[in-house]
Amino acid sequence: MVLTLTDEEIQEMKRILLDRDADSALLVVKKLIKRLEQNAQAGLKSHLDR
């Protein structure tokens, strides 16, 4: 599974690392997991759904 990150997301992650902001890091991980789950669900659609 591949998840493409925007430049803004990468910059946000770098900022979080520099600030050692655990709460923000957790939010980023939650967002990424949600996107991965949405991508996985999109791939499970049946050809009958059209």
Model pTM?
0.71
Q: Distance (Å, rounded) from C-alpha 27 to C-alpha 25?
A: 5
Contacts (Cβ under 8 Å, ≥6 apart) of 15: 21
Quote the pLDDT of residue 44.
Answer: 65
Retrieve residue 3's tokens: 């998840």
Can you give the pLDDT at residue 24? 94
C-alpha span between 35 and 6 (Å, rounded): 13
Tokens of 38: 């949405």
In this prediction, residue 27 carries a pLDDT of 95
Q: Give backbone dihedrals phi and psi of 30, rounded to 5 degrees, phi first.
A: -60, -45
The 10s digit of each residue's pLDDT in 20-48 is 999 999 999 999 999 999 888 876 666 66
